[in-house]
């Protein structure tokens, strides 16, 4: 057996015993990171003494430090993003919501759609929309200065900085100059109930920024507030998408009632076929 792959197998066992959810994938990603290759290229690495740095990385992951903090990178749709302490690590589940948003924008009869990403974190959502909807103009809002620094770095590196503008602001009061003009509003807000803190994996609980996670005893405090934000920012016929947690899909549609001007409120599913985000639109004039 290739010596490197043998070591990866040993690392996989260690990570599995530590409770890491995807031990093989993480062991391979760490090996690829250390050797400067992609996961699919590991078989090309020469059979030689394995770098001690690998086992340092494995030990950090074994202690449940996030993989993305160790490698300094996260993948989201077609982007490789820089991430680390102080910023929420983007999740694959959010890619499905972004895909819906991109399809929705493409279907709009709007030449240069105006998009707002609230709580942008690393900038993953904003950058993906700018990349895949070439004429879009995206405003990325983030209140935390550490997270905003990561977002600005990723926006600059993406090559789409001419169409993505980062703002340091509270998502509830941001961008009053855009009131009633936004074509699509999208957000992955905090939605973890404070009562669930003991059930959250340490990679999330101990490393993701608290303000990006917790949102009251039922996790819906911020989403309740977003109903008013959507009414303020969206134009007539504009669309909104909000990510939410497991079990919250049944409650959220009631927060966007028809009498408040909301239409087509629907839950959408993630890769595991669980309700993951809710979508809706403002009533036409």
What residue numbers does the annotated binding site cover? 119-123, 142, 188-191
Contacts of 99 (CB under 8 A, 6+ apart): 77
**What is the CB-side half-sphere exposure of residue 134 using CA atoms within 13 A?**
0
Dihedral sign for Cα 71, 128, 207, 199, please. negative
Q: How far is CA 227 from CA 83, 105, 146, 242, 279, in A?
A: 30, 20, 27, 10, 12
The annotated binding site for substrate is made up of: 188-191
**What residues contact residue 97 under an 8 Å CB cut-off, 6+ apart?**
186, 188, 241, 243, 268, 276, 277
- What angle in degrees, to the nearest 10, is found between the helix axes of 52-62 and 23-35? 140
Binding-site residue set for S-adenosyl-L-methionine: 119-123, 142, 188
Strands (DSSP E) contained in the chain are 73-76, 79-82, 114-118, 137-142, 164-168, 182-187, 234-243, 262-269, 275-282
The Cα 269–Cα 277 span in angstroms is 7
Run of H or E residues at 74: strand 73-76
Dist. CA 79–CA 127, nearest whole Å: 8
- Half-sphere CA count of 258, side-chain side, radius 13 A: 3
């Amino acid at each position: 057996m290739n010596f490197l792959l043998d070591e990866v197998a040993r690392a996989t066992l260690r990570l599995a015993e530590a409770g890491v959810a995807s031990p093989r994938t993480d062991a391979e990603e760490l090996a690829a990171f250390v050797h400067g290759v992609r996961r699919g290229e590991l078989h090309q690495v020469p059979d030689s003494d394995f770098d001690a740095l690998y086992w340092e990385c494995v030990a950090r992951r074994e202690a449940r430090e996030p993989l993305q903090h160790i490698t300094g990178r996260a993948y989201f749709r077609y982007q490789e993003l820089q991430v680390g302490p102080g910023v929420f690590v983007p999740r694959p589940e959010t890619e499905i919501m972004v895909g819906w948003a991109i399809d929705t924008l493409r279907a709009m009869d709007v030449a240069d759609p105006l998009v707002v990403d609230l709580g942008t974190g690393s900038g993953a959502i904003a950058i993906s929309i700018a990349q895949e909807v070439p004429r879009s103009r995206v405003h990325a809002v983030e209140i935390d200065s550490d997270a905003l620094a990561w977002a600005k770095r990723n926006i600059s590196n993406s090559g789409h900085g001419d169409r993505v503008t980062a703002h340091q602001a509270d998502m509830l009061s941001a961008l009053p100059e855009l009131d009633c003009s936004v074509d699509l509003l999208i957000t992955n807000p905090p939605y973890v109930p404070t009562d669930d803190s003991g059930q959250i994996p340490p990679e999330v609980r101990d490393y993701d920024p608290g303000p990006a996670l917790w949102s009251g005893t039922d996790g819906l405090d911020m989403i309740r507030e977003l109903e008013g934000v959507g009414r303020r920012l969206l134009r007539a016929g504009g669309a909104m998408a909000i990510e939410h947690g497991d079990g919250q899909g049944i409650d959220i549609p009631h927060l966007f009632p028809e009498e408040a001007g909301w239409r087509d409120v629907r839950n959408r599913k993630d890769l595991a076929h669980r309700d993951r985000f809710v979508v809706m639109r403002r009533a036409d004039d």
